[in-house]
Each structure stands twice: as C-alpha cells, then as structure tokens.
Amino acid sequence: MLSPSGWWLACAPVDLRCGVDRLLVKVQAELGQAVSEGGAYVFRNRASTRIKVLCVDATGVWLCVRRLHTGSFHWPRAGEAVCAVSAEQFAWLCAGVEWQRLSGRMEGIGKAF
C-alpha cells in the first residue's frame, strides 16, 4: 500500500485536469526535483478545494484525488516552489485543519527545496 518516504507540496496552484505524465513533468521542470521512488507530490487547484497526490513507487505511479465538501485546504504561502511536510502534517492538511498552527515544533514547515 501507499507509505511515502517524503511529502512535498507544490506551493503554486495547478490545473488539476493534468494527468500523471503532465504532473511528473511539473515535478521535474517547475519544482526542480528529481522524481524519487517513494516520494509523494501534492498539487492543489486555485480555490484550494481539491488536491491531487502523485505517489511514485518501485512499480509505477499512483494518482489520488481529494475534494473537501466544505471549506478549503490550508496551504503554505507561495514564496517557494515546493514545501516539505511530514506524514502527520499531510494527514491534518487532508482533514482540512490549519496544520501550520498545530505546533510550533513541527518540522518541515517552510522547508523549501
């Protein structure tokens, strides 16, 4: 099953009509990261009501979509291209919680590549 070794959020919104291949190109070209096995790359739409998660493993690529019924996802400010988060922070983000304010000691907030 899915158990990524790292989570990276693309800070700028993207057109979520993109499929796997186009999102992989965005990871490499626009985010400046080599696609690594075990990595999870998260993209959002402009309204922050939907996200797509691209997970790369040894045998292929997973593409997952999440939509909130109400509210929006709390996203880091667009100062960098990408922000690394922990699995716990990602779980809170998926729940629609303002995960950046949960704890002052959380690692990964604002950690840009």
SS3 83: strand
Q: What is the pLDDT of residue 106?
A: 47
Structural element, H or E, at residue 26? helix 20-29
User: What is the reported pLDDT for 52?
Assistant: 96
Q: Quick one: pLDDT at residue 78? A: 67
pLDDT tens digits for range 27-53 = 888 777 778 788 899 999 999 999 999
Domain extent listing, the chain: 6-112
Distance CA 50, CA 94 (A): 10
Residue 64 has pLDDT above 70, yes or no: yes
What's the pLDDT score for residue 103?
A: 54
Q: What is the pTM of this model?
A: 0.81
DSSP state of 80: S
Q: What is the pLDDT of residue 83?
A: 87
